[in-house]
Amino acid sequence: MYFIMPLFMFLCGLLVFSFNYNHFLVTLLSLEYIVLSLFMFIFIYFMFSMFDLLFMMMLLTFWVCEGVLGLSLLVSLIRGYGNDYFCSFNLLQC
């Protein structure tokens, strides 16, 4: 019963990530939503199996670094292009 909600959250995050790809910010938010659902799933699993939560702290540190890297990419794209639309990025330009 407890594992259904994180699984539903994970599937909703994957659907948003795969079908809504106009804005870079929306894709980053859906990736963070997926990470949040994975955090809930692993936390519930560790609580039921009585594991040590040190591994959760390491995972949380990596996930925060991933979020900061995504936000820094978003800021650099907005400063360089003026918006976060994927259609306005010219990837062939050096």
Average pLDDT, the chain: 83
Residues 9 and 37 sit within 8 Å (Cβ to Cβ): yes
pLDDT of res. 91: 59
pLDDT of res. 11: 92
CA quadruple 16, 17, 22, 25: dihedral sign: positive
CATH number, span 4-81: 1.10.287.3510
Q: What is the pTM of this model?
A: 0.78
